[in-house]
Structure 1
């Protein structure tokens, strides 16, 4: 598969004077989810085609307009610039007077956050192999996801995992591949030790922070426990009562190593997490 870059694929965004749902003849259905960036609704075609989309709405109210536009532009840009079977694609993006809209495929099985305590070990491995392939594709293009968590992985009808919610993604142009810690975002329960300990002006590696978050996700899936801020995962992994295979325990120790230098990169991780 040919790789694409943002420079090769400029973001396409419709500027609309009318309502997005009216313009594209869509019925706005039930609320699928809500986060800091906005609300996601299930939509169907008014023409009766049966096609379902998930549409994320970014409010352009004055108090959140700057942040919303920044996240909308980032998410639409990255989704349109990269193409991979395990990254959520952008169907269309538009700015309306009151909000911006990002249309994506609808994933009927929801997200990993609602499934993480109900999956077999083989299915966990399958999901994680999909996630790390998508992440490797981003990292190869110098893009850090920057908000990896169970709720940002979506499952289709064939039980394939797709990495989404790219509104905080960072394209790294600095040769050092480091960023100010204050700009490395995500959800606190998935923060790496170096992020938790850093001052806002310290620099850290966002790619290795992504890898730590993958470790937290994998831990949650195999243990059934919810992610915890400041968790001592190395101590947890020393518990011999945990029902983990030697290979799982070894992999988790590497992913969750407090020293970012010791964590594998995404390309190594693709080889380490395989469907068995």
Structure 2
């Protein structure tokens, strides 16, 4: 178990489940971790990904990190994760990554565990990898599906906030699904600006610089909007249509 995570005591776990009113999607007891998969299989900027089994289905368990976060911000982060669970669990669309439930990680911890979000494991990886050998026609079809997923979010007044190729996963049937909408803004940790990522402690927003609209680079940038999502979508389309 990592030493810096969004930790909750046993009583706080109970409170979290009750406040969310979603105890039916607390699937901790149903998640099984293979003996040879006790370590993360992927690392992200704010979470570690574990491979696990849920009733015979291979799933991804995303364990949130809160490196360097003080207690006050840790509690705020826990609340934001709960909000994200509530939003994601209501999403149902062919181009949105399905939400299977949440779990406390590790499950055997008696006093402290961390929030983790569970979704189906995407065998075909990210759009970034998947479209490399594809024809231009196939790429256009895939990108149209991405547009449909983003339209679905926007119709529900949900801003993705970090749309990019590696946040678009591909199902076993070759269908793109949007992932990590809203999750990039859960981090309260200040990040050093680079060409790869940018963050603002004023807004709590963290995104990927090459996909960010210009207004998000202001000294005190506004929060991401539907318009900045459309800018990022344009970047995704341009990069995917011209990469070989």
Q: Same fold by TM (over 0.5)? A: yes
Preserved contact between residue 130 and residue 170 of structure 2 (Cα < 8 Å): no
* 1:43 matched to 2:43: no
Q: Which residue of 2 aligns with 1:85?
A: 94
- Structure-2 separation of matches of 1:68 and 1:203: 20
Preserved contact between residue 145 and residue 175 of structure 2 (Cα < 8 Å): yes
* 1:199 matched to 2:219: yes
Shift of residue 89, structure 1, vs aligned partner: 1.8
- Which of 218, 222, 225 matches 2:237? 218
- Structure-2 separation of matches of 1:120 and 1:75: 36
- Structure-2 separation of matches of 1:73 and 1:39: 18
Q: Which runs of 5+ in 1 are unaligned?
A: 1-9, 171-180, 226-276
In structure 2, relative to structure 1, the CA distance for the partners of 1:215 and 1:11 (3 Å cut) is farther
Preserved contact between residue 159 and residue 224 of structure 2 (Cα < 8 Å): no
Q: Which runs of 5+ in 2 are unaligned?
A: 1-19, 106-111, 187-201
- CA RMSD, Structure 1 to Structure 2 (Å): 3.2
What is the TM-score when the length of structure 1 is the normalising length? Answer: 0.62
- Structure-2 separation of matches of 1:62 and 1:14: 32
- Structure-2 separation of matches of 1:140 and 1:169: 20
In structure 2, relative to structure 1, the CA distance for the partners of 1:143 and 1:11 (3 Å cut) is farther
Preserved contact between residue 153 and residue 162 of structure 1 (Cα < 8 Å): yes
The alignment of Structure 1 onto Structure 2 pairs a total of residues equal to 198
Q: Please state whether the residue corresponding to 2:207 is helix, strand or coil.
A: coil
Which 10-residue stretch deviates more, 65-74 or 113-122?
65-74
Preserved contact between residue 145 and residue 169 of structure 1 (Cα < 8 Å): no
- Structure-2 separation of matches of 1:212 and 1:152: 15
Preserved contact between residue 60 and residue 69 of structure 1 (Cα < 8 Å): no
Shift of residue 129, structure 1, vs aligned partner: 1.2
Instruction: State how 1:146-165 maps to structure 2 within 5 Å.
Output: 146-165=161-180
Q: Which residue of 1 aligns with 2:211?
A: 190
- Structure-2 separation of matches of 1:68 and 1:205: 18
- Structure-2 separation of matches of 1:190 and 1:209: 9
Q: Which residue of 2 aligns with 1:73?
A: 82
What is the TM-score when the length of structure 2 is the normalising length? Answer: 0.69
In structure 2, relative to structure 1, the CA distance for the partners of 1:211 and 1:11 (3 Å cut) is farther
Shift of residue 205, structure 1, vs aligned partner: 6.2
* 1:12 matched to 2:32: no
Q: Which residue of 1 aligns with 2:150?
A: 135
Instruction: State how 1:97-136 maps to structure 2 within 5 Å.
Output: 97-136=112-151
Preserved contact between residue 93 and residue 101 of structure 1 (Cα < 8 Å): yes
Shift of residue 185, structure 1, vs aligned partner: 3.8
Q: Which residue of 1 aligns with 2:190?
A: none
- Structure-2 separation of matches of 1:151 and 1:63: 26
Q: Which residue of 2 aligns with 1:237?
A: none
Larger radius of gyration: 1
- Structure-2 separation of matches of 1:189 and 1:183: 18
